[in-house]
Amino acid sequence: MVKKNFPLFIIIMFTITFPNYSFSHTDNPRHKAMMTLGKTMKQISTINKSGGSFEPDDLNKLNEIFEISKSFNVLFANDDSGEEESRASPMIWTNKSKFKNFSNDFEASIAKLINAVNSKSNEKVSNAIAQVGANCGKCHRVFRLPKKN
C-alpha cells in the first residue's frame, strides 16, 4: 500500500513545497481569468437549472466575472499566440476591432445576467445565461485555437 501511494505522496509534497512552480500555464493571469469565467458560469447555470435561489456570494462571483470581462483589453494586450501553451489565435491581434466588439458583447451579456439574477426570474436568468454562452462561443469559434495534443 505504501509503495503504491509513494509517487502520489511525492507529487503532493512537491506541490506543497514549491507552489510557485507550475506544471502548466495556470499561473497565467489570462488563463486564471478564463477558468474563473467558466467555473462561475457553470455554477450559475447549475443553480438556475435546479430552481435554487441565488446567494449573495453568487452575485459576488458574477460581479467578479463582470470585472474580468471589462479587462479583456489588458488580458489580451500581448500577442502570445506563438507560445506552446497558448490557444489564442493570432487573429486576436490582427483583427483587434472584431475582438473588441466580441468583448463588448460579452461584457454587456454579463451585465444583463447580473440584472436577471437580481430580478429573481429563472426565465430571465436562463435567457441571459444563453446569451453569455452564445457570446463565449462566438468569440471562441473565431479567436480560440483547438487544443494541442
Report the domain count for the chain: 1
Within-domain flag for 130: yes
- Tell me which residue has cell 506543497: 16
Return the DSSP state at 120: T
> What does the pLDDT read at residue 93?
97
CATH code of the domain containing 97: 1.20.120.10
Cα angle, residue 114 at apex, residues 108 and 120 outer, rounded to 5° = 140
Within-domain flag for 12: no
Within-domain flag for 15: no
Within-domain flag for 38: yes
Q: Cβ distance 32 to 26 under 8 Å? A: yes
**Region of 120 on the Ramachandran plot (φ > 0 left; ψ -120 to 50 alpha; else beta):** left
Q: What pLDDT digit, counting tens, does each position of 7-46 carry?
A: 555 555 545 554 444 445 567 899 999 999 999 999 999 9
Give the range of the structural domain holding residue 77, as residue numbers without chain letter: 25-143
- Tell me which residue has cell 466580441: 102
Q: What pLDDT digit, counting tens, does each position of 39-85 carry?
A: 999 999 999 999 999 999 999 999 999 999 999 999 999 999 999 88
Within-domain flag for 29: yes
Within-domain flag for 5: no
Q: Cβ distance 88 to 81 under 8 Å? A: yes
CA separation for the pair 33, 59 (Å, rounded) = 17
Within-domain flag for 103: yes
Return the DSSP state at 146: P
In three-state secondary structure terms, 144 is strand
Within-domain flag for 20: no
